[in-house]
């Protein structure tokens, strides 16, 4: 619900602050007073395009803000806010400004948002309907979702959406498998050649590091042998080896221990351990020397292996380390190719089953729609006589789409609201058959019946009573008041019969002062309302008869 609206420097409005309440409210005023400016200002908060020409003369920018109260904290608006990380409470403040240089700012609860997002949010807050409106209920593209909201078969719709997603997923898998199989078949000869090449080379995991380490070892073999020989001679020199020195030292300590009752036994044991280690080191060096005996052929073999692996990697645009994975993928492709027909048949069966399940769920929703359409048609027929349309008829057309490409998560139905304005005349689409006055009444009857079907909480009617008067206008006013029992209804009207039914009456007036024109809006008291309805009845000069008639209308 719209709670308040603040406007600054929009065309004829310099400063305006309005508070609104629920129920049925009207805005009246002479032609040109600025009622459309008020709606255009509100439209800026709903995502309509902002023009620099809307900025009041001699001002550098305009600004509009509105406070909305939104009851459904778990509905679509909450989901949109969660998706865009917007703070969302029961009260929502939307503000928008536009400067002369064309720069625009939009805020949702003090958080900046885009115009596209504002349009999404605005569509959930307010529904604006004018006589020549091509959106909302006048747009046949919306009729299916409107009927679904009216029918309240959300579970069936949820199952249908899930079935469609499963069907499309199965179809996508099948198409991908067909394309993969076709591609594999086209490359089968190359694939088999590549696999034979890989099978010949047989790349292994971590082989590059092992080969480079091995090559480095072999390239250093000569220096390794030289250093091993130096170490061996130091330990095993016939003239004076390390071991001989250790033995001589050990014999001397043994003689000392004999004279001192083993006082220096620890030294003897240390020398004994060193001697054992020296002898083991000599044996290990001797073994290592034998192992370092590398031939030129071994070096060449390692070099050739490295070259073959790098060449294979270049050929397949990968790294040597990833060659085993490439090989494995090729083997998998070949295996898939060999059993591809069986896999594809399994996917075709899964797709067929998913398609049949989707059709089953779509059939259920179709029957629900047909039932809801019958209920809506009957409800509409009850409303039309009260709106002085006894000869008119309403029909909700539910047709099945024949082209499978047109099927979607909402099923295969097309829904269109059809009307006949006179007995015996053929039905036609609502937006093409009805005249201005008839259209307003059809729309009103629809909104009365759809008022509890998940629609927005605020509805604005811009002069939808054009072309009607007298008893018909009075009937329209009664229906608007009925709609206002559950929704906030704002109506811009020139009809005194419609205005008489309002809970709140706002008057839009234009003033001239100091060479400037300004539009003001004020909430009328009960007496002022009666005077305004009398003006609407008689014109600029209000007669006593008009005042009496206004009193009767308001009291009716």
State the pLDDT at residue 284.
84
**Residues with pLDDT less than 50, the chain:** 132, 134
Judge whether 37 and 517 are in contact, CB under 8 Å.
no
Distance of CA 161 to the CA centre of its chain: 16
Distances (CA, A) of 546 to 109, 502, 532, 534, 539: 47, 18, 10, 5, 9
Put the strands of the sheet holding 458-462 in their side by side order. Answer: 126-130, 458-462, 488-492, 24-28, 504-513, 516-523
pLDDT digits (tens, 9 = 90+) for 150-165: 898 999 999 999 999 9
pLDDT digits (tens, 9 = 90+) for 412-437: 999 999 998 888 888 988 777 766 66
State the pLDDT at residue 134.
43
- d(Cα 305, Cα 203) in Å, to the nearest integer? 10
State the pLDDT at residue 217.
64
State the pLDDT at residue 117.
93
CA count, 13 A, side-chain hemisphere, 533: 28
Judge whether 534 and 546 are in contact, CB under 8 Å.
yes
State the pLDDT at residue 363.
96
* Residue entry with tokens 């499309």: 168
Judge whether 28 and 536 are in contact, CB under 8 Å.
yes
Q: CA angle at residue 431 from 429 to 435, to 5 degrees?
A: 110
Q: Which domains does the chain have, with CATH numbers?
A: 2-131+384-523 (3.40.50.300), 189-333 (no CATH)
- d(Cα 449, Cα 431) in Å, to the nearest integer? 18
State the pLDDT at residue 549.
87
The two structure tokens encoding residue 356: 């049949």
Helix (H, G, I), strand (E, B) or coil at 462: strand
């Amino acid at each position: 619900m719209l709670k308040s609206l603040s406007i600054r420097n929009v065309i004829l409005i310099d400063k305006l602050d309005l508070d609104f309440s629920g129920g049925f409210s009207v805005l009246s005023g002479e032609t040109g007073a600025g009622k459309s400016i008020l709606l255009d200002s509100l439209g800026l908060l709903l995502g309509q395009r902002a023009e620099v020409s809307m900025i009041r003369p001699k001002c550098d920018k305009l600004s509009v803000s509105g406070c909305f109260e939104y009851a459904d904290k778990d509905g679509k608006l909450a989901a949109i806010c969660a998706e865009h990380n917007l703070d969302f409470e029961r009260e929502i403040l939307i503000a928008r400004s536009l400067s002369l240089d064309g720069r625009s700012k939009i805020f949702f609860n003090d958080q900046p948002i885009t115009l596209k997002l504002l349009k999404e949010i605005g569509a959930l807050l307010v529904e604006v309907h004018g006589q020549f409106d091509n959106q909302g209920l006048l747009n046949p593209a919306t009729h299916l979702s409107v009927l679904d909201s009216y029918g309240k078969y959300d579970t069936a719709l949820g199952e249908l959406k899930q079935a469609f997603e499963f069907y499309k997923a199965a179809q996508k898998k099948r198409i991908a498998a067909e394309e993969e199989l076709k591609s594999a078949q086209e490359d089968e000869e190359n694939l088999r050649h590549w696999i034979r090449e890989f099978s010949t080379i047989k790349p292994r995991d971590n082989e590059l590091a092992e080969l480079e380490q091995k090559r480095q070892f072999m390239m250093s073999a000569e220096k390794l042998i030289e250093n091993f020989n130096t170490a061996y001679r130091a330990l095993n020199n016939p003239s004076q080896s390390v071991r001989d020195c250790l033995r001589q030292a050990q014999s001397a300590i043994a003689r000392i221990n004999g004279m001192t009752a083993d006082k220096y036994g620890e030294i003897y044991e240390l020398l004994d351990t060193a001697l054992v280690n020296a002898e083991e080191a000599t044996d290990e060096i001797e073994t290592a020397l034998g192992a370092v005996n590398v031939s030129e052929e071994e070096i060449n073999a390692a070099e050739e292996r490295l070259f073959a692996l790098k060449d294979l990697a270049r050929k397949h645009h990968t790294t040597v380390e990833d060659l085993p994975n490439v090989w494995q993928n090729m083997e998998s492709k070949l295996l898939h190719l060999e059993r591809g027909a069986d896999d594809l048949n399994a996917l075709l069966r899964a797709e067929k089953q998913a398609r049949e399940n989707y059709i089953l769920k779509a059939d259920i929703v179709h029957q629900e729609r047909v039932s809801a359409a019958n209920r809506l048609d009957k409800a509409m027929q009850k409303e039309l006589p009260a709106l002085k349309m006894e000869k008119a008829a309403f029909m909700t057309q539910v047709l099945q789409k024949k082209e499978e490409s047109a099927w979607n998560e909402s099923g295969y139905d097309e829904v269109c609201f059809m009307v006949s304005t006179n007995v015996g005349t053929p039905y036609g689409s609502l937006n093409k058959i009805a005249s201005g006055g008839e259209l307003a009444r059809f729309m009103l009857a629809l909104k009365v019946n759809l008022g509890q079907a998940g629609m927005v909480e605020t509805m604005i009617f811009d002069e939808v009573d054009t072309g009607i008067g007298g008893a018909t206008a009075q009937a329209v006013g009664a229906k608007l008041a009925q709609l206002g029992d559950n929704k906030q209804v704002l109506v811009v009207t020139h009809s005194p019969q419609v205005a008489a039914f309002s809970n709140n009456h706002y008057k839009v007036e234009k003033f001239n002062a100091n060479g400037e024109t300004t539009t003001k809006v004020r909430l009328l008291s009960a007496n002022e309302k009666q005077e305004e309805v009398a003006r609407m009845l008689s014109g600029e000069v209000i007669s006593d008869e008009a005042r009496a008639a206004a009193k009767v209308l308001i009291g009716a």
